[in-house]
Amino acid sequence: MRDEDFPWLEYDDYYHFPDPGSWDDDIIAAGGNLSPGLLISAYAQGIFPWFNEGEDILWWSLDPRFVLYPDNLHIGSTMKKVLKSRRFTVTVDKSFREVMASCGKAPRKDQDGTWISGEMIEAYGRLHDLGFAHSVEVWEGDTLAGGLYGLSLGRAFFGESMFARVPNSSKTALIALSSYLDDKNFAFIDCQQPTPHLGTMGAVNIPRERFIKELREVLETPTVRGNWSLLYPDFPASELWNRYTASPVGVGS
């Protein structure tokens, strides 16, 4: 059903989003499609899709925006003990679709369903195959315990969702990713909207105007495109990660 409250994108209308800076609402547009071209164009403008299965695609640019700057990452005493124990093994881009499907099945407070539909998994799976979307997997033995996924453009990582089957596994994924991106000179992880979970780890609200400005700056750097398990075989080894794990043990092969 077509939503008449927002600018409508025709199915083949690839780039004609309204400028978020001149729009008062968090929802920028409706309609369009989930093709790689439109998705990448949207993220490059600070816009992302979020909608329920069976409904029109809605395109959002939140004000304020919830952002984690890697050098603001806070690791609490409990997580320091978890990392020190080396209970988990962390990998990147080993099980993208499984991570995304697991995020879709994870229970959410005050949510009965999920926005991570089969259509979304197919769309972001294509972005993964094209080298733009990435997953971080956290393993307990041979079992996938938790993880996260998102997109990388320039020096920005757009976090989409995370899940934890085992306590502290999703936090481990975020710490591994954030500390590694910090070493690679990434500017921020876009967390989209506030959650207490991410707030305790250092994410903060910033005005949309500031987010768009910073995004344009970081997109001047070429995107590192490809499977990160091949491009970054030492993941998650970084200065911060090694400090709290005492050695690079836990790096997935």
User: H or E segment at 182?
Assistant: helix 169-183
Same domain, 138 and 200: yes
> What Rg, from alpha-carbon coordinates, does the chain have?
18
Same domain, 47 and 101: no
Q: Is residue 125 part of a domain?
A: yes
Same domain, 122 and 196: yes
Same domain, 41 and 137: no
- Helix 169-183 vs helix 77-85: crossing angle, to nearest 10: 90
List, in sequence order, the alpha helices (H) in the chain.
36-44, 77-85, 96-105, 118-129, 169-183, 196-199, 208-218, 228-231, 239-245
- Helix 96-105 vs helix 118-129: crossing angle, to nearest 10: 150
Same domain, 113 and 96: yes
Q: Is residue 2 part of a domain?
A: no
Same domain, 121 and 235: yes
Same domain, 212 and 160: yes
CA 95 from centroid of its chain's CA atoms: 15
Residue 129 has pLDDT above 50, yes or no: yes
Same domain, 104 and 121: yes
How do residues 76-120 score in pLDDT, each as one tens digit? 999 999 999 999 999 999 999 999 999 999 876 655 447 899 999
SS3 55: coil
| pLDDT computed for residue 18 by the predictor | 81
Domain boundary among 29, 46, 61: 61
Same domain, 24 and 125: no
Same domain, 117 and 27: no
Q: Is residue 72 part of a domain?
A: yes
How many other C-beta atoms lie within 10 A of the C-beta of residue 24? 5
Same domain, 176 and 211: yes
SS3 149: strand
Q: Is residue 1 part of a domain?
A: no
User: Which residue range forms the structural domain that includes residue 94?
Assistant: 66-245
Q: Which residue has the tokens 């075989």?
A: 233
Residue 91 DSSP one-character state: E
Residue 193 DSSP one-character state: S
How do residues 40-70 score in pLDDT, each as one tens digit? 999 999 999 999 988 899 999 999 999 999 9
How do residues 205-252 score in pLDDT, each as one tens digit? 999 999 999 999 999 999 999 999 999 999 999 999 999 997 544 444
Domain boundary among 44, 61, 78: 61
| pLDDT computed for residue 21 by the predictor | 80
| pLDDT computed for residue 110 by the predictor | 55
DSSP lists the bridge partners of residue 49 as 59
DSSP lists the bridge partners of residue 154 as none
pTM of the model: 0.91
Same domain, 40 and 75: no
